[in-house]
Structure formats: C-alpha cells, structure tokens
Structure 1
Amino acid sequence: MGVPAIRWTESADGSAVVLLDQTRLPAEEAELVCTDPQGLVEAIRSLAVRGAPLLGIAGAYGVALAAARGFDVREAADALAAARPTAANLAYGVRRAQAAYRGALADADGGDDTAQSSRRAAEAALAAARNLHREDAEGSARMAEHGLRLLEQLLPGGGHRVLTHCNSGALVSGGEGTAFAVALAAHRAGRLRRLWVDETRPLLQGARLTAYEAARNGMAYTLLTDNAAGSLFAAGEVDAVLIGADRIAADGSVANKVGSYPLAVLAHHHQVPFIVVAPVTTVDLDTPDGASIEVEQRAGREVTEFMAPQVPQAGVEAVGGIPVAPLGAQAYNPAFDVTPPELVTAIVTDEGVVTPVTEERLGELCDRSRPDNDELMG
C-alpha cells in the first residue's frame, strides 16, 4: 500500500493513531488522525478502519493511545471492544494490550512513583500493539502460503478463476491480508486467471476496496454485482470462492460480510470449493455455534441511500448518500451473515488448514497454535 492502513505516531502534540480513511477510497488516499480513544471508536463504527485483523491491531493501539494520553484505560478498552461486536479480533487486540498494561502496573508494585509506573504501563501497551501488528503481517504471509498450496491441491493445473466477497487484502491487515493474500500469491505464481470481485452491497467494499487493491497489484479482475454471482457459477466460470471472516465459532460456523452465505450455498450446489481464510485469533472457542454469534445491525440509510465516497471540495459541505427508496422505507441491514461448517470446504489459518471443518479439528488447531487466553479475554 502507498499509505499504510494504520500507524502509530509521536509528535510534539502527543501520541496518535493514524488511519488510511477507507470511506474515501478509491477516490482519495486520505489519512484520519485519532488523538483519543473515542475518535478511534467512531472511526471503527464508520468503517474508516475495518477488517477483522486490522480491527484487532486498531483496538490494541487504541488501548495504548488511552494509556499514553492519560484516559481511563478500562473505560476506553470496553468502548473499543464493543464498537463492532461481531469482530472477534477487535476484542482480542483490545484485551491483549490491556493485559500488558495491567501486567506492567502490577509489576511496578509500588516501586515507582505514579507517573513513572503509568508511563511504563503505557509503553507496555504500545509494545503489545506493535507486536500484534508484526505478528499479523507474518501470519498473513503464512496464510497466503497455506492457501496457495491448498488451491494447488484442489485445483491442479493452475489458471484459477477465484470469486471473492467484500475486502480482505492489505486494507484489513498488518500484511497483505487474508483471502485476498491467497489470490495475490496465486497471481504472483502465475496461477490466477481471473479474480471475480463482488461489489458487496450496500457499502461497496468490493467495488471500492478490493478492485482498488487488485488494480494496484496488476491482477486480472472483473467486478460484478452481488446478484450476478449465480450466473457465473451456472456458466462454470468459478473454480473457487475465497472469503475472509470476522468471527469463527467453535463448531466452524463463519461470520463474514453479508452475502457470504449465499455464495456458500451456490458453491455447494455447483461443487466448487468454498474456502475461508482467517488468522487463528478470529476463532472464538467461547462462541459454541453460529446461532451464538452476535450479528451487528447497521443503519437502514446504508440501504435506502446509495453510499459513495465523499471527497471534500472547497466551499462544499460533504453530504450523505443519494436516496434510492421512498422516504420512511424500512430496511433490513445486517452487516454479516453466518455460514454453517458443512458448507465450508476448508478454513485456512496462519497456523495451518482445517479440512474437513469440524469442531474437533478446529479445537485441535487452536490448542496447538496459541497460548491460553483465559486471562487475556476475561
């Protein structure tokens, strides 16, 4: 990316979290500076920063920001973790930085004055956020490697025609992404024939963001409306579906951007592999099944108005979307839907591949690959 999706900065004015404002893409690469936790919460809710792994990084930096700026860290952590309830990584990142902060305070144990212990705790929270950022970049590379190997096993011969939904590239990650990173690896290996990009209604993350990333990487891609996917399957033009995830339940149910479940049904009917790519931190073993996943409901105006990036112009106030429904129309606007494990061919993680997708196999992978997070997530 020409502009990093997220970065930490220090200046004479103090610490800040700087975001690439994704609501302005692809028209403008503009940065949004967050100098307090509430500003970051609002950026998360408005989708200026989005995508499961990146939300984890943002949550961790948000805790570090609260600590560095002297805000109530516990209050900030709770607000950040609740900003998008479906995203498992957001709460994980928040709690990880919060645990580092608490641990540093406990280690001080009266040996330092209050100001010194607070400074050291803030430094510990920032170190945790930076470690998570680095780990996510490394995990992204491993997911790309595992995913490309799986594609080669499922689809020998190359020339893959891959359909993706929403956005799962460098804009959602400390590295090159999740599902998009696999497609990018196939492209670099000369194995990708076509990337089919769902525009992803109602906020067009596919049209605005995935197409933007595909173009920047010189990939052969074609944009389609979400409801055109069925005709592609019927014509035999899709070899595999690659999507990311915002939360994966213990039984392997996958919450992802709304519109993912219909693709899984189509893929199952047409015997096309449906592959989910996400870091192990997206798996929430405390959520037993898909019915237990809290699905965020967003404002109806995202459906009743056509939303597009707003590029500010001199003397012109930025306004909302263009109305496309009668005044007062009710809208159903879940941010995510849930795909049951029986429709998922494989879950590709930074620590390996789970296939077939069962609660036992997923649990074994998590037990092998990550430490006990009971205290972290408590």
Structure 2
Amino acid sequence: MGSLEAIRFEHAGGRAKLELLEQRKLPLETEWLTIDGPKAAWTAIRDMTVRGAPAIAIAAALSLAVDLVNSGSGAQFDSAAAAAAHVAEQMDYLVTSRPTAVNLSIAATALKSLAEQEAAKLGASATSVTEAVMAACEQMLRDDVAANKTMGRHGAAALLEAAQARGRAQDGRLRVLTHCNTGSLATAAYGTALGVIRALHEQGQLEHAYCCETRPYNQGARLTAYELVHDGLPSTLICDSAAAALMAQGKVDAVVVGADRIAANGDTANKIGTFCHAVAAHHHDVPFFVAAPTTTIDPQLDNGTLIPIEERAAEEITHFKGQQVAADIGVWNPSFDVTPATLIEGIITERGMVPKASGSAAGFAIRPWLAAANGDGAAANGSNGKLATQPGFVALNCDTVKEYVAARPQLAKHVGPAATAATWTVEEVGDGNINFVYILSGPSGQLCLKQALPFVRCVGEGWPLSQDRVRIEAEALVAEAAHCPQHVPAVFHYDARMCIIAMQYLAPPHIIVRKGLIQGLIYPRLADHLASFMAETLFHTSLLALPSDQFKANATRFSNVEMCRLTEQVIFTDPYYAAQYNRHTSPQLDAEVAELHADVAARVAATKLKAKFIQNQEALLHGDLHTGSIMATEETTYVIDPEFAYYGPMAFDVGKIIANLLLCFFALDGHASATEPRSAQRAWLLECVRELWGSFRSRFLALWDQHGSKGDAYHAQLFGSGGGDQGPAAQQAAQAAFMADLWRDALGFAGAVIVRRLVGIAHVADMDSIADADVRAVCERRALRFGRRLLTGPEAVADVAELTQLAEAARQDGQQPCFPL
C-alpha cells in the first residue's frame, strides 16, 4: 500500500473486520471507525465519514463481505438463489447512499451479477455464492491500489509533456494544483489525482503541490493537506478563490483533479469548484487533467447534463462548528459541478490516456476506446470476434429469467412470492426480429420482461448490434408516457447491465394487432388511438413545443446510431440491389425484383428519403411503428417496442404505420375464402387509413394552436396572436406548408417500407402466413407495384381519399400497375 493507510480489512478465522480512518476527525487525530455491515457503511458514506468515489465503492463492497463472513458465509441462507438475492438487496441499498459517484453503482452491479452467475451454476450452494462474492470484494481492494499506481505513472508523464509543450517546467519539475481530496483517503490507497502528484514526487519531478481548501466541506484543507504533510511532499494550502490569481502569477504548470463520474463525451462531474479551476486554467493556458479509474466512466450517459448532481445540507454553508454564522437565507449547495470536455486536456486512467474524439478537440472517444480496451473491437467491425456486451451481462432463457425476477422483490410482486418461482410459467413471445420478450405468469399475476442481446436476433451473432438500444427504449417509453400515458405500457424496472426492461403485462384480450388482423379482427378505435399517440408524442417532443436548448439536449440523449444505421440499411439500401439477406417469393416474383433493382427512379427516391431520415431531426419518433408494435382490444390500444426511437422526421412514423395497414389490406385476398371473403375488414382497413391521417392532422394542428407559442420553431412574435395583423395568416400558411410536406414525405416513406417488407430481410406475417406461394405472390406483386409508385411519385397523390382509392384500384389489377411506373 501507499505510505498512508485508510482502509483496513482483515479476514481470518471465520471472522472479518473492516476499519476506516475517520476523515471527519483529521488532522487533529486519527481514529479508526469499525464497520460491521452495510447499514454502518451506508451511514458512513452518507455522512461523508468515508468519501471519494473509489473509496465509497471499496468500503461498500467490503461491508458486504463483513456481513457475509460474520453471518456464517452462507449458512444463514436456505439456497443459492436466496444468497444471491441478499447480495442484490444489500448492494441496491448501499447505492442509495450517494447518487453521483458511479463507482459504487458499478461495483454493486458487478457483485450482483457475480452472485447471480454463481447461483445459476450446477450444484451451486449459498456458501459457494457468498465465498465467490467475498473473494471479489477483497480483489476490488487489491485492484484499486494497483490501478492507482499505474494511473499515477501515466499521469505524471502526461502532465510533464503537456506543460513542457507550453514552455513550462523546462527543468523537468512541475508545480501542480489539485482540488478536493483524491488520495489514500479517497481510494483504497495512493490515490487518483493525488496519486499522480505522488508519482511525480517519487520520480523527482514535483517542485510544489498546491491544494485548494474545497469549500464548503473543506476536504482539501482537512484531508489533502493532511496527506501531503504526512508524506512530506512540498506543498501549500490555498483558498479556492485564490487559484486563478496563483495561475496569473505563473506559479501553476498543470492542474490535475479527480472525478465522481465521467460521461461518454468526457464531460466530468467532480467536487464543486472544479469547473471554476478549469475555466481559470483555460484562460491562463494551463493544462487541466482529470485522473480517474475506468470504473468512474459512465458510457451510458451521452454528456454531462445527464449526470445527477447531489445537493448537500444548507448547514454546511451557514454553520461553523455547529454555530450559525450566516443570516437566515436560502441556500444552494450542490456537491458537484460538471466540467465540459472542451476544457479538459486529458483523462488519465489505469489503462492510459483516453483519446480525443477523431477530428475534434471538443470531446473524447470514450465508447470506442472502452470497447477496444475490453477486447470488443472485433465485434464493432463485424468480424467473428467477441461480441460487445455490458460488463456482467448474462443472456437469459426461460429458466433463468424466473431466477432473475425472483431475486428482485419489486418485480416478483407482479408474479408471485419468490418461493413460488418454481411454479411460474414463462413464454418467449418476441415475434419481432431484434429482442427477446418473456411473459412470466404466477399466482400474483403477469410481468413482461424484455432483454436485448448484442446482435440482430433473426440473423444471429453475424450481425452485431449495440445493446444501448434497451436504454433508448426504456427512456422512450417514459418520454412517450409523459405525453400519452393511456397508450403506453408502464415501465417497472430498467437494468443497464443486463440490458433488461420489465414492464406492464397487457393481459388478454390484448394481442398484437398484426396477429388480430390476420385472424380477421377489426379494431374500431385503432385509428383514433394511434392518431392521438402520434400527435401527442410527435408534437410535444418537437421544436413546435420545446425551446431549442431542450430540443437539442433531447436529440443528443436519443442518439440511437446503430439502430438508425440498421434502418438505413434494410429500408433504404438493401432492397434495391441483391443484398445478402434479401429474400422474396421465388420464382414468382423474380421478374418484379429484377425490375426493382434496375429502377433508377426508385434508387434515387429511396436515397433522398434516406438523407431525410438521417438529417431531419424533427421529433422523438417511435422509429418502428407497425402493426407488430401495437397491442390492442376493441377498446384499448398500447404502442410497444420503441427500441428504434430517435429524433427524426415525423413523416417516418406516420408513413410506416400507413404502410403496414396497407400491407395487410393487400394481403387479405390471400386469407379470404368463399365463406370468409374479408370484404368488411378490407373496407375497414381503408377507412382506418383515412381516419388515421385525418384525425392525426386535426389533433396535431389543434396542439399547435394551443401550445405552439412554447416552442422555438415558429416564434410567437411572428406567428399567431403575437404576430400582429399578419400573425394568424402566417400561422395558417406555415401549418398548411408543414402538413403538405409531412403528407408527401409520409407517402414516400410508406412506399419504401412496403417495398422492403416484400423483398428485404424482414417480411410481415400478413404476407408470409399465406400458405399458397402463387396466391401470396399475387398479393405481394400488387403491393410491390403500389409501394414503388408511392416511393417514386408521392406528390401525385393529393390526399388520403385518393390514396385509398388508388390502393383499391391496385388490388383489383393484380398483374398490371393501376398507374404508370
């Protein structure tokens, strides 16, 4: 260990003991606090008796080890599953102590995952589970010390190089400023940022260290100063507000600080006051570094605006030694601030320096760097290497999904007591092409659980796919429910590590609408409900309703790159040439497919739509709104499965659902018979399309009239009542142009979707369930010709009435197009 010990853990003779150096009593005295389990650790963390992101994680983990050892190393549990459930319960409890430091959350996730994996092994026992967890906790302590020393070496070299590049420290000795406490008292030993300073000192390259007091809790004055003096480093304590003046005098060659959480772009949350030092360093051309282990990096967060910031008690500012020293006044006391990546020279980790984003100085390439460091680069490139997964990820099946739910009381309550798990039934019902969907049934009810594997389900590991899509889906469901809760299932649980969403089970008679349509059902309220869903979600997430800053933040949050690239490939590219995974009814449609591949106009139209799909960020889309993503009864409708959600053109959602209703319309001749002609259902489908567009249009415009002044797209001073005499006329003109563009693009997107569902990788059951290939080919040929016409000439279809008339005409002429191609 380093020269200063802050965590003592002993495990011998069937007993364990954890002691923490009491930081609040430093430097006047150094007493040890005995931690006898998670409850004591929770209090010590919450009260900041122990603090520092790495130390919090280590202390929490070791408190669990103490609890397990001193309770009999598994003897208190009646099964391996019970032991794993106890580990999960204790770690979930400990995570609530401090929300900003991600190390604790990562440690908790890793230990819970380990316990689950051990419990799932053949012949597992409560003892085998607890012993594996205890060993992992002790290893975390050892790993942290080793990582800190490696980080110190990397950081020392990086600081010296950056300072000398600016003409500083030409003698090879640095004057370094740091903030808060990042040494042995904040880690297992040695430290992160303070570890860099220690490494410089050990190498003879430290001229002087300056530590800021770090108001209002004074971690720098109480803790860092203590460590510097304890180890005999040349050092000086300064007020936080003196740092800029010190830099102005040329007495600082580099700044190095720690981190409590680092977002995927490099934005960093650290102790309040860090941002001020970064701004001052930037002004004085002083290199500013962040030193943190990779466990502090949270690649799930796109940027620093998404980092939760803890607020501390007002008394930390208004009182001194228990005595009030400030007037009775409102207090804002955030414990952390966020330093933008643009102000950070480098991020130092135990794996080396995080690279800057390619071609830009505005951020860091954290996600690809982590993937490469984890050995997942092959998957990212589509090779046969290891597929990228979340750390601790385990793919579930119909047996292990019961264990997963039983170990989580907040989920088990929807199915039944954990003790009844053996009697639960599980059905895998995912009939889509991406994820696995499990329905669990038990004495208390049902639960729907969805898991994303790191590949396209219908292809397998040969087509890798990011599991971040499950985060997108969970957040999209919450966002959609905020605006249209009556048509969105409730989310009960999201597990980032296991890529799982647990949600409301939609009980029978709810079924997937596509299945109901194939059976011959009619949904009298479907059009009205879908129109409401689209109008509410598309309008309220657009610039018509949002200020531009919030809109841009949302667009970044829902950056669903890999799923969008999948859409771009399978809808706008693959159908127009002989792509590997394409398929069609052959040989019946061979001639039509050859025509499509030779159709220059179709290629051009599809490519134009692809550009709009990529470039036009208008609103939060469901992204895959088809009849297989809707569950309904005659009275209720729920939109599910938004794993493709992203900010894109509104017309894409509208066009996609229209396309799928029309695909069913064309398929009905293949399902009809003399006793069941399907004529009523066919007429209803066309009426559904007309009502869907008409109701969507009127509701969307009503929302625009009611709320449009809140958004930045059409400013109130130019449009509407705030625009003077010309305002209402300008509003009407804007709305007419907007809806005309949306209608035209929706038809184009509808055409592209129809085409891909007939000749691309993924078809629709409406057509595929027609057993007779010749009959199926007739239905598909009609739909394909109609889809090509919409794709290449949407401007020729004036309104929805004409659209449905043309669809009926196309259906009645199965061999020839009803209008020239």
Q: What's the TM-score, normalizing by structure 2? A: 0.42
- Does structure 1 residue 171 correspond to structure 2 residue 200? no
Shift of 1:10: 4.4
Q: Partner residue of 2:87?
A: 73
Question: What is the one-letter code of the residue matched to 1:194?
Answer: H
Q: Partner residue of 2:5?
A: 4
Q: Partner residue of 2:354?
A: 354
Q: 2:390 aligns with which of 341, 353, 373?
A: 373
Equivalent-residue separation in structure 2 for 1:2 and 1:176 (angstroms):
8
- Does structure 1 residue 29 correspond to structure 2 residue 30? yes
Equivalent-residue separation in structure 1 for 2:269 and 2:363 (angstroms):
15
Question: What is the one-letter code of the residue matched to 1:366?
Answer: L
Q: Partner residue of 1:336?
A: 336
Closer, same or farther in 2 for the Cα pair 1:205/1:233, shift >3 Å?
Answer: same
Q: 1:240 aligns with which of 254, 262, 268?
A: 254
Q: Could you list the per-position Cα deviations for residues 231-268 of structure 1 after superposition, in whole angstroms to 9, with x for gaps in the alignment?
A: 11221211111100000001110000000000000011
Q: 1:278 aligns with which of 267, 271, 292?
A: 292
SS at match of 1:252: coil
Q: Could you list the per-position Cα deviations for residues 18-75 of structure 1 after superposition, in whole angstroms to 9, with x for gaps in the alignment?
A: 2111111111111111212111101001111111111221232233344343593322
- The answer to whether the 8 Å contact 1:56/1:93 transfers is yes
Q: Partner residue of 2:204?
A: 190
- The answer to whether the 8 Å contact 1:3/1:20 transfers is no
Question: What is the one-letter code of the residue matched to 1:365?
Answer: W
SS at match of 2:233: coil
SS at match of 1:43: helix
Equivalent-residue separation in structure 2 for 1:18 and 1:3 (angstroms):
14
- Does structure 1 residue 132 correspond to structure 2 residue 146? no
Equivalent-residue separation in structure 2 for 1:95 and 1:8 (angstroms):
22
Equivalent-residue separation in structure 2 for 1:209 and 1:53 (angstroms):
15
Equivalent-residue separation in structure 2 for 1:89 and 1:155 (angstroms):
30
1:93-112 to 2 correspondence within 5 Å? Answer: 93-107=107-121, 109=122, 111=123
1:112-151 to 2 correspondence within 5 Å? Answer: 117-151=125-159
- Does structure 1 residue 64 correspond to structure 2 residue 78? no
SS at match of 1:175: coil
Q: Partner residue of 1:310?
A: none
Equivalent-residue separation in structure 2 for 1:55 and 1:366 (angstroms):
23
- The answer to whether the 8 Å contact 1:7/1:18 transfers is yes
Q: Could you list the per-position Cα deviations for residues 87-142 of structure 1 after superposition, in whole angstroms to 9, with x for gaps in the alignment?
A: 010111122222222222222x4x36xxxx22222211111111111111111111
Closer, same or farther in 2 for the Cα pair 1:181/1:2, shift >3 Å?
Answer: closer
- The answer to whether the 8 Å contact 1:19/1:32 transfers is yes
SS at match of 1:296: coil
SS at match of 2:135: helix
- The answer to whether the 8 Å contact 2:244/2:281 transfers is no
Runs of 5+ in structure 1 lacking a partner?
Answer: 308-320
Equivalent-residue separation in structure 1 for 2:4 and 2:235 (angstroms):
22
Structure 1 vs Structure 2 CA RMSD = 2.1
Equivalent-residue separation in structure 2 for 1:279 and 1:11 (angstroms):
29
Equivalent-residue separation in structure 2 for 1:342 and 1:373 (angstroms):
27
Shift of 1:166: 0.2
- The answer to whether the 8 Å contact 1:179/1:242 transfers is yes
Equivalent-residue separation in structure 2 for 1:47 and 1:250 (angstroms):
27
Q: Partner residue of 1:40?
A: 41
Equivalent-residue separation in structure 1 for 2:197 and 2:364 (angstroms):
28
Q: Could you list the per-position Cα deviations for residues 258-291 of structure 1 after superposition, in whole angstroms to 9, with x for gaps in the alignment?
A: 0000000001111110000001111100111110
Question: What is the one-letter code of the residue matched to 1:269?
Answer: H
Q: 1:87 aligns with which of 89, 92, 101?
A: 101
- 121-130 vs 56-65, which moves further: 56-65
Q: Partner residue of 1:314?
A: none
Equivalent-residue separation in structure 1 for 2:134 and 2:199 (angstroms):
31
Equivalent-residue separation in structure 2 for 1:92 and 1:203 (angstroms):
26
Aligned residues: 358
Equivalent-residue separation in structure 1 for 2:220 and 2:323 (angstroms):
19
Equivalent-residue separation in structure 2 for 1:3 and 1:300 (angstroms):
32
Equivalent-residue separation in structure 1 for 2:324 and 2:15 (angstroms):
41
Shift of 1:370: 3.7
Equivalent-residue separation in structure 2 for 1:73 and 1:294 (angstroms):
25
- The answer to whether the 8 Å contact 1:256/1:338 transfers is yes
Shift of 1:197: 0.8
Closer, same or farther in 2 for the Cα pair 1:267/1:2, shift >3 Å?
Answer: closer
Equivalent-residue separation in structure 2 for 1:368 and 1:64 (angstroms):
32
SS at match of 1:170: coil
Q: Partner residue of 2:277?
A: 263
Equivalent-residue separation in structure 2 for 1:48 and 1:2 (angstroms):
21
Q: Partner residue of 2:532?
A: none
- Does structure 1 residue 52 correspond to structure 2 residue 53? yes
Equivalent-residue separation in structure 1 for 2:258 and 2:109 (angstroms):
22
Q: 2:314 aligns with which of 290, 297, 300?
A: 300
Equivalent-residue separation in structure 2 for 1:84 and 1:366 (angstroms):
25
Structure number with larger C-alpha Rg: 2
- The answer to whether the 8 Å contact 1:96/1:128 transfers is no
SS at match of 2:59: helix
Equivalent-residue separation in structure 1 for 2:390 and 2:5 (angstroms):
29
- The answer to whether the 8 Å contact 1:211/1:223 transfers is yes
Q: Partner residue of 1:317?
A: none
Closer, same or farther in 2 for the Cα pair 1:11/1:24, shift >3 Å?
Answer: farther
- The answer to whether the 8 Å contact 1:17/1:34 transfers is yes
- 118-127 vs 360-369, which moves further: 360-369
Runs of 5+ in structure 2 lacking a partner?
Answer: 77-82, 165-169, 376-388, 394-496, 499-821
Question: What is the one-letter code of the residue matched to 1:361?
Answer: A
Q: Could you list the per-position Cα deviations for residues 310-362 of structure 1 after superposition, in whole angstroms to 9, with x for gaps in the alignment?
A: xxxxxxxxxxx332112x43221111000000000100111011253665622
- Pick the structure with more helix per residue: 2
Q: Partner residue of 2:593?
A: none
Equivalent-residue separation in structure 2 for 1:91 and 1:370 (angstroms):
19
Closer, same or farther in 2 for the Cα pair 1:13/1:352, shift >3 Å?
Answer: closer
SS at match of 2:19: strand
Equivalent-residue separation in structure 2 for 1:151 and 1:305 (angstroms):
38
Shift of 1:5: 1.8
Q: Partner residue of 1:201?
A: 215
- Greater RCO, CA 8 A, separation 6+: 1
- 13-22 vs 246-255, which moves further: 13-22
Equivalent-residue separation in structure 1 for 2:39 and 2:135 (angstroms):
21
Q: Partner residue of 2:230?
A: 216
Shift of 1:81: 1.2
